Amino acid sequence: MQEKSRITKLLAINEWSKFEVKRAACLPKRLLETVCSFVNTEGGILVLGMEDPDKALGKDRLIGLSENPNNVSDFLKLLRSEFEPPLQHLVATEEEMIINADGGKDKLLVVTISKGDDIHSLKNGDTFTRKGSQNIKIGASEILRLRYEKGSIKFENELSSITSLRELDDTLLQKYKKDTGSEGEDSWQFLKDNGLAKSKSGKMHLTKAGILLFGGNPAVLLGNKCSIKISHYFGTEPTFSGEPNFVRRPLTIEGPLLKQIDETLHYFQTAVKESAPRLEGGTFKPSLLIPEWVFQEAVANAVIHRNYSVQNDVQIRFFDDRIEVESPGTYPAHITSTNIRSERFARNPIIQRVLNRFQNAPNLDIGEGVDRMYALMKQYNLYEPIFFPVKIRPNSVHLILYNLHTIDYWDTVSNFLDRYGRITNKQTREITGIADTLEVSRLLGSWATKGLLEKVGKTKGAYYIKTGQDILSFLLFKESDK
């Protein structure tokens, strides 16, 4: 990549939730606050040596590090010493050579900050998160909430008030003991050995994971919303005036987690059988096209990886053109909507392990589930799953599975975006062979309406990115491909 290309891109990006620029004269304390806010939210990029876009234009913004090299040096030292816990591998720095606004040779410092697995604070006790282009200082209650979100504090490990095995679904517990070759073991000892019970003041207590997995009705026993709610609609949107457009009355599925997943999958199977048939290749097929395994994986992930400290149920919504699965709590630890296919982190590792050890396990637990969802949707000629980023869905992991065959041009555009990060109307015409500018605008607009793409910028100079596309993809976009 040419130097000019990278600098041009840095100048073109506006400050937002994952990008900020500062002059080298900025106090190191302020720079640390930005790093803190990035690492505690979704990660981001901080560029030192560049003027705010509201105060200068174009290359006049290239002030350089020479304005105050001592500040930059102090900042780099403080990065290693002023965070608790330490940032370790979460920060990377890279220098970019420039010609500054005065015509001299100079440098920018590009600091890439990854999302952390825990909440990081400055040693003076201040803690920040990122909202839009602002660093927001947070207090103790918000820190606690975010630690549950990150998974550094585990709801599943906490003790419940339940001290009697009579509150459990004994049939399910005995099945699990049989499936794991432990029929002869004492139940309390077995539960303790599996992280599902602990001793306190000489008495055994079930953990919250034990209740969620084997309690007769966890929602009642824990006094917490920890069930699955299914809403099934005619059409593509809920009706908020007049008669509700429900196919069936909304259903809440309660009970142990394995039973919740099984009953939800049974609902899907019934919906497939009862869906209006459509003619394909001379045979009639159900109009619900989403592969059963993809739906099962989506539901299992929502149940296993949700934040159980949040007072909400997993929400599953059926529409004619899609299924939505919304899991309470945002992405845990370092997971984001853009790395979810390749990265792994278990917010609830005990729940994940126990479910996986049943003979009829709903989860594979081999780290390939989400990636396989993408592969199967593509195999069935359906649009790829959409995991919405935090900036769009800040308090949940929101997944859409489209019940639609792809338009012929989608794979071509999708592959281009995977390689280059963004696409313009002109580029779409070039790679698809569609000559009509308006037709391409309608095509790109329809994908944006579905949530597959995000439009960036106004009509002139506008381009499209995949929903939640990481900023690094934009920086890697080749100028020669414009």
CA distance 49 to 184: 68
pLDDT for 471 beyond 70: no
Judgement on whether residues 339 and 432 belong to the same structural domain of the protein: no
The DSSP output letter for 205 is E
CA distance 253 to 263: 7
- How does pLDDT run across 278-324, given as a tens digit for each residue? 666 666 677 899 999 999 999 999 999 999 999 999 999 999 999 99
What's the pLDDT score for residue 158? 97
Judgement on whether residues 306 and 441 belong to the same structural domain of the protein: no
What's the pLDDT score for residue 386? 95
Is position 117 within any domain? Answer: yes
pLDDT for 460 beyond 80: no
pLDDT for 435 beyond 50: yes
What's the pLDDT score for residue 364? 64
Judgement on whether residues 8 and 116 belong to the same structural domain of the protein: yes
CA distance 121 to 229: 37
What's the pLDDT score for residue 3? 42
Residues in a beta bridge with 455: 464
Is position 144 within any domain? Answer: no
pLDDT for 478 beyond 70: no
Nearest Cα to Cα of residue 81 among 41, 25, 124: 124
pLDDT for 276 beyond 70: yes
Count of alpha carbons within 13 Å of 229, Cβ hemisphere only? 13
Domain at 418, CATH number: 1.10.10.10
CA distance 165 to 112: 51
CA distance 441 to 464: 11
Judgement on whether residues 8 and 125 belong to the same structural domain of the protein: yes
Which of 109, 138, 167 delimits the end of a domain? Answer: 138
Judgement on whether residues 346 and 427 belong to the same structural domain of the protein: no
Judgement on whether residues 335 and 353 belong to the same structural domain of the protein: yes
**CA pseudo-torsion sign 269, 271, 276, 278:** negative
Average pLDDT, the chain: 91
Judgement on whether residues 163 and 235 belong to the same structural domain of the protein: no
Confidence of residue 223 (pLDDT cuts 50, 70, 90): very high
Confidence of residue 480 (pLDDT cuts 50, 70, 90): very low
Average pLDDT score over residue span 20-40: 96
Judgement on whether residues 351 and 249 belong to the same structural domain of the protein: yes
Confidence of residue 468 (pLDDT cuts 50, 70, 90): confident
Is position 25 within any domain? Answer: yes
Confidence of residue 461 (pLDDT cuts 50, 70, 90): confident
CA distance 13 to 19: 8
Residue holding tokens 């917010």? Answer: 347
Nearest Cα to Cα of residue 17 among 33, 31, 36, 38: 38
What's the pLDDT score for residue 126? 97
| E strands present in 368-414 | 386-387, 396-402
Q: Angle at which helices 425-432 and 437-450 pack, to 10 degrees?
A: 110
Is position 56 within any domain? Answer: yes
- How does pLDDT run across 236-248, given as a tens digit for each residue? 999 888 889 999 9
What's the pLDDT score for residue 365? 60
Judgement on whether residues 265 and 335 belong to the same structural domain of the protein: yes
Three-class secondary structure of residue 154 per DSSP: coil
The token duo for 342 is 């390749």
- How does pLDDT run across 105-132, given as a tens digit for each residue? 999 999 999 999 999 999 999 999 999 8
**367 versus 395: which is more confidently predicted?**
395
Percentage of the chain beyond pLDDT 70 is 94
The token duo for 84 is 């608790």
Q: Angle at which helices 170-179 and 349-357 pack, to 10 degrees?
A: 80
Is position 93 within any domain? Answer: yes
| Range with lowest mean pLDDT among 55-64, 127-136, 202-211, 358-367 | 358-367
The domain total for the chain is 4
State which amino acid sits at residue 164.
Answer: S
**CB count, 10 Å around CB of 369?**
20
Average pLDDT score over residue span 208-224: 97
Nearest Cα to Cα of residue 371 among 384, 361, 388: 384
Average pLDDT score over residue span 417-446: 92
Which of 138, 169, 204 delimits the end of a domain? Answer: 138
Count of alpha carbons within 13 Å of 269, Cβ hemisphere only? 8
Tell me the DSSP string of 436-474.
-HHHHHHHHHHHHHHTSEEEES-STT-EEEETT--HHHH
**Phi and psi angles of residue 81, each rounded to the nearest 5 degrees, phi first:** -125, -15
What's the pLDDT score for residue 392? 82
What's the pLDDT score for residue 381? 93
Judgement on whether residues 234 and 189 belong to the same structural domain of the protein: no
Is position 346 within any domain? Answer: yes
The token duo for 57 is 């234009």
Percentage of the chain beyond pLDDT 90 is 77
pLDDT for 456 beyond 90: no
pLDDT for 421 beyond 60: yes
Domain around 128: 3-138
Which of 180, 201, 222 delimits the end of a domain? Answer: 222
Domain at 312, CATH number: 3.30.565.60
Judgement on whether residues 60 and 103 belong to the same structural domain of the protein: yes
Domain at 104, CATH number: 3.30.950.30
Judgement on whether residues 211 and 242 belong to the same structural domain of the protein: no
**Phi and psi angles of residue 28, each rounded to the nearest 5 degrees, phi first:** -50, -35
Confidence of residue 262 (pLDDT cuts 50, 70, 90): very high
